[in-house]
Amino acid sequence: MDGSISSIQEQFDPRVVQVEPVNKSISFDSIEGVEHSTQIERSNKVNLRIREDATPTDVLQRVVAFTPVISAQLARPTLDEIFIEQVARNRGADAADAVRMEFENA
């Protein structure tokens, strides 16, 4: 991948919904279409990674129906997420999960 950070991000679908829930302890992993959720450091926001077989706008609607939110939006993928997606495509889901865990513990 070559180019600026923004040009690299534009090459990838927004497969992340960023949510700021009213209830900070809510779990989003049970919502249909959510692959996994990640708490954003020093924030009340949560990034929800969308499964490949789901559409981000449908998941966004399910989130809003599931719990009251202060904000919810489609988010550009981070470079970490793009890297993890490439690992998943080239080496499989287990390798991508290992990289994700490594990033979360870094």
DSSP 44-97: S-EEEEEPTTS-HHHHHHHHHHHS-EEEEEEEPPPHHHHHHHHHHHHH-HHHHH
Model confidence at 13, in pLDDT bands (50, 70, 90)? low
| All domains in the chain, ordered by first residue | 11-75 (3.30.70), 78-106 (no CATH)
> What is the arithmetic mean of pLDDT over 66-79?
88
The residue among 8 and 63 whose pLDDT is bigger is 63
pLDDT in tens, 14-69: 788 999 999 988 999 999 999 989 888 889 999 998 998 999 889 999 999 999 99
